[in-house]
Amino acid sequence: MDQNVATGQPGLRERIAADTKLAMKAKETARLSTLRLISAAIKDREIAARGEGGDETGLSDADLTAILSRMVKQRQESAKAYEEGGRLELAEREQDEIKVIQSYLPRQLDGAETEAAIAKAIADLGAGSIRDMGRVMAELRARHAGQMDFGAVGPMVKDRLMQ
């Protein structure tokens, strides 16, 4: 079993596999369905990586976190579209899937923590103008992958750098 070396905890992939087995045994059909979607997305990405000449060691937990973050974003967009179309039962199903997927993502930073992370990244890099925005965003992605919505953070960084 692959474990996180730093913490001794099972890796994300192993947690998902174990939870899939538990959901099967408990006959939790909705949760099982979502876990299978996660596994399929991971497998698709592994196949694509092999086709691109990627390494054979597989995907890291950071790669898996990126996949899960994309899945959450897709479901949020779908839920919004279903709500606008009056399909509330489908929107609710998307929201249920989001909850399952998010249980495998790191805790999201709140507003104050996000502001502090932005300020720290700007200070650490000595960023002083809008030209440094790419470096600041790259630093935030490296430090806080899966912990913040970078679509929302981008404008906050831009505002901070334009002051």
DSSP string over 127-151: --SGGGHHHHHHHHHHHSTTTS-HH
Q: Do 118 and 154 have their domain in common?
A: yes
Backbone angles phi, psi at 116, to 5 degrees: -65, -40
- State whether residue 50 is helix, strand or coil: helix
Please tell me whether residues 88 and 121 are part of one structural domain: no
Q: Is residue 46 part of a domain?
A: yes
- pLDDT tens digits for range 22-77: 999 999 999 999 999 999 999 999 888 887 766 556 778 878 888 998 899 899 99
Instruction: Dig out the tokens for 151 from the structure.
Output: 């679509």
- Residue 9 has a pLDDT of 53
In contact, 136 and 103? CB cutoff 8 Å: no
Q: How far apart are CA 90 and CA 43, in angstroms?
A: 26
Of 124, 71, 136, 122, the residue nearest 98 (C-alpha): 71
Is residue 94 located within the same domain as residue 123? no
Asked if residue 39 is part of any domain, the answer here is yes
Judgement on whether residues 43 and 87 belong to the same structural domain of the protein? yes
Per the structure, the count of domains in the chain is 2
What CATH number does residue 144 fall under? 1.10.10.410
Query: Residue 136 sits in which domain range?
Result: 111-162
Q: Does the predicted TM-score (pTM) go above 0.85? A: no
Q: Are residues 93 and 146 in the same domain?
A: no
Question: Residue 5: inside a domain, yes or no?
Answer: no
16: nearest Cα among 46, 43, 54: 43
